[in-house]
Structure 1
């Protein structure tokens, strides 16, 4: 397929700039990513801080797969604050990838790589196993159907290490939200925790290949002692929110 045809298949994101931030979006109504110009590795959007809650269940991930690059907020945060992790980002939209310098996304190196591919194909055929899969793939119409299907979640389950966790960003107000959440629960045998970002209508789902151990409090304390102070300052309120308000969908979980 020619480069022109490939670009024509995908929407072109818009970038708005202010004195303090840059914002990526596909429409005026939906913010895809936001970056603080003087602190480009900070997580400005609340849902991204909630998604980092995977550290409460996998505090030392060796391999992280990210579905969707966007403005690279989660990718940058993990790259800078999880120095022992290798990060594979899967992004299908060439326009989004072309903006990686605009949003100060790191260059590819021995532990970070952005791969242009359909994530549904990647999770079906990947030869690697991951400790964490971060599913935050959106286009102009929301989550593509291929990234919220039962087969996609089944493949994510298969791609995880035994103690692995999938963290998925869902729109709480989408008409098919209950269907998508039920698919995750079915793929992961009900081992799912959800927490809501009430300000923006996101629900973050954490799904586990096995029942997570040790207890949540132990990993909360571990994150507080091992993360860089500037990273922990951003995540601590969200992690406390997960501990307090997270809804456990399977009995026997901590």
Structure 2
């Protein structure tokens, strides 16, 4: 939480790995296309909601988290973010620069790197989105969270569509406070009508039960 007006992360102490905010559950919908991603990058740690959820429910996935603010990283123990190990690492640095180090590497890049001033400019440029395309494996997906207060959303969406050759869909949460943009390095989004109405075979029942209500709202 960066101010009394805007909540960017929230944790249930009784279930610290749960996705408490609806927009985070929507972001995880990339799993409908790839239930067992090999490697994920996250731009922005925040309270660690996405990182903790993926760490718990995707035990064979390698997860890299890029966080520019050392003070946010210093709070990782408070938010029960797991320690670095062989498949999980929090890397301090500018995600817009760090993503450039990777080529054809990630099955998903999740962009939720807000600070007290909103979404940093370097995470909204055409160059950044181009670098995300380059970092993604074939059919990999970038997922970006945009808050409704972002007056540059239209321009960002146009840049994403250009970088990803139009392979883009938008999903709003029920409060219309967030727009989640899915952009694919390939054409799997064009087959959205074929999304599974039942649990994907490679997805655990626990994960499916946690995400299914949100997924159904997207599929109808």
Match of 1:59 among 15, 35, 38: 35
Q: CA deviation at 1:101?
A: 0.6
1:220 aligns with 2:196: yes
Match of 1:146 among 122, 131, 144: 122
* Matches of 1:142 and 1:214, distance apart in 2: 31
Match of 1:38 among 5, 14, 32: 14
1:217 and 1:83, CA in 2 relative to 1: closer, same or farther beyond 3 A?
A: farther
1:208-232 deviation line (CA, Å, top 9, x unaligned) = 1100079546653564544333322
Give the superposed CA RMSD: 1.8
* Matches of 2:117 and 2:58, distance apart in 1: 32
Contact 2:10-2:21 within 8 A present in 1 as well:
yes
Corresponding residue for 1:88? Answer: 64
Contact 1:36-1:42 within 8 A present in 2 as well:
yes
Q: CA deviation at 1:161?
A: 0.4
Which consecutive unaligned segments of at least 5 residues does structure 2 have? none
Written as runs of structure 1 = structure 2, the 5 A alignment for 1:73-112 is 73-112=49-88
Q: CA deviation at 1:185?
A: 0.6
Q: CA deviation at 1:199?
A: 1.4
More divergent stretch after superposition (87-96 vs 165-174): 165-174
Q: CA deviation at 1:57?
A: 1.9
Q: CA deviation at 1:126?
A: 2.8
Contact 1:62-1:84 within 8 A present in 2 as well:
yes
Contact 1:55-1:223 within 8 A present in 2 as well:
no
Structure (1 or 2) with the larger CA radius of gyration: 1
1:46-66 deviation line (CA, Å, top 9, x unaligned) = 000000001112222100000
* Matches of 2:108 and 2:58, distance apart in 1: 13
* Matches of 1:78 and 1:223, distance apart in 2: 17
Q: CA deviation at 1:180?
A: 0.9
Which consecutive unaligned segments of at least 5 residues does structure 1 have? 1-24, 245-254
Contact 1:56-1:216 within 8 A present in 2 as well:
no
1:72 and 1:169, CA in 2 relative to 1: closer, same or farther beyond 3 A?
A: same
* Matches of 2:125 and 2:176, distance apart in 1: 23
Tell me the TM-score normalized by structure 1: 0.82
Contact 2:35-2:200 within 8 A present in 1 as well:
no
1:231 aligns with 2:207: yes
Written as runs of structure 1 = structure 2, the 5 A alignment for 1:150-169 is 150-169=126-145
Corresponding residue for 2:147? Answer: 171
More divergent stretch after superposition (213-222 vs 91-100): 213-222
* Matches of 1:51 and 1:236, distance apart in 2: 13
1:152 and 1:241, CA in 2 relative to 1: closer, same or farther beyond 3 A?
A: same
